Structures are given as C-alpha cells and as structure tokens.
Amino acid sequence: MKKILIAIVLLVVIIGLASSCGYNKMVSLEEGVSGQWSQVENVYQRRADLIPNLVNTVKGYADFEKETLTQVVEARAKATSTTIRADNLSPEGMQQFQQAQDGLGSALSRLMVVAERYPDLKANQNFLELQAQLEGTENRIAVERKKFNEVVQAYNTTIRRFPGNITAGLFGFDKKGYFEASEGAEKAPEVKF
C-alpha cells in the first residue's frame, strides 16, 4: 500500500513538473507549427494548380519555346512530388522541399521572361489574368513562409530554453527547420539593357 501511494505521489510530481516546465505550451506551439505548415503547403498548391492553365494558355502560341514549357512542367512535377510531413519538419527535409520549390520558381521566371518576346501572348487576357494570379500567389507564399518561420522560432526557442529543454528531451520535442534564402539570393541580379 505504501509503494502504491509513493508511486501515485511520484506520478503527480512528474505531471506537475512536466506542466510547469512547459509541456502544454510545447504541444500548443508544435500544433501552431503544423497549422502554419499547412498554410504554406496550401499556397504552394495554389501555385501548382495555376501552372497547367498557364502552360495551356502559352501552348496556344505555336512558335513558343517548347523547351521552356517542358522545364516548367517537369519542375512542377518535381515540386508536387517533394512533400514533407508536418510532424517531420527537419532542417534537411525543409532544404529538400525548398530546393524543389525554388526549381519551380526558377522555371516560372524563365517562362515569364520568354513570354515577354511575344506581344500577342502578353496581350492575351487569360495570360494576363494567370500572370496576375501567379504574382499574387508568390506574394502569399512569401507571407506564409515568413509566418511559418515566426512560429518555428517561437517553438524552437521554447524547447531550447531551460527548464523546457529538459521537458522537450523527455517527451521528444525536436527542433524544426526554417525556410532559408536560396543560395546566391544575397547577390543582386545583374540587369542589362
């Protein structure tokens, strides 16, 4: 009987320590990271959904560079097949996901540059609407990535601070990865006229 009472008291003390060391806060922050990750995926999916319409609109111009269209389609396929689960947002996984998305962004940029050479295409209402939607989506992506980094920072800070780091270690709260600038992004692009 005495052993059972000691076990119960010990369990109550452990639960009290865990909650006072921020276990519940860590759970809430981790859920916030997962929720914000869903928003990031949502805007990336919006971009991926716009691309087939954009490609089909551009295809209507017979002399348009097919290689550029192929690159966009291939980059979209790679970007949509590279996924990362919200419960496994490791720095390595984030880097792989970001590289696939950056490849798609780069292919879309090339498509827009090539489209500038076709006045009829630039005047096409469908193309203009899709281009505007794509630009708006790119802005949404930037906003959601910023929000994601903010919630990840709050989470990572909490699990690394004492005494929360003890609770995090006991209950398996791992550091989450950030979105980071692409390599070479710190250099201004060269513009020639």
pTM for the structure as a whole: 0.77
Return d(Cα 80, Cα 67) in angstroms, integer.
Answer: 20
DSSP 3-state of 56: helix
Tokens of 42: 């949502």
HSE-CB of 54 using CA atoms within 13 angstroms: 27
Are the beta carbons of 155 and 33 closer than 8 angstroms? yes
Whole-number pLDDT of residue 39: 94
pLDDT category at 136 given cuts 50, 70, 90 is: very high
Whole-number pLDDT of residue 157: 96
pLDDT: which is higher, 145 or 91: 145
pLDDT: which is higher, 2 or 21: 2
| AA letter at 106 | S
Q: Assign residue 173 a region (left: φ > 0; alpha: ψ between -120 and 50; beta: otherwise).
A: beta
Domain definitions of the chain by residue range = 29-171
Return d(Cα 79, Cα 102) in angstroms, integer.
Answer: 9
Whole-number pLDDT of residue 192: 39
H-helix or E-strand containing 193? none
Task: Check if CATH label 3.90.550.10 holds for domain 29-171.
Answer: no
Whole-number pLDDT of residue 153: 96
Among 42-46, 175-179, 186-190, whose mean pLDDT is lowest? 186-190
Whole-number pLDDT of residue 163: 84
Whole-number pLDDT of residue 61: 67
**DSSP one-letter string for 137-186:** HHHHHHHHHHHHHHHHHHHHHHHHSTTHHHHHHHHT-PPPPPP-PPTTTT
> How is the chain split among helix, strand and coil, in percent rounded to 5?
75, 0, 25
Return d(Cα 76, Cα 80) in angstroms, integer.
Answer: 6
Check pLDDT > 90 for residue 158: yes
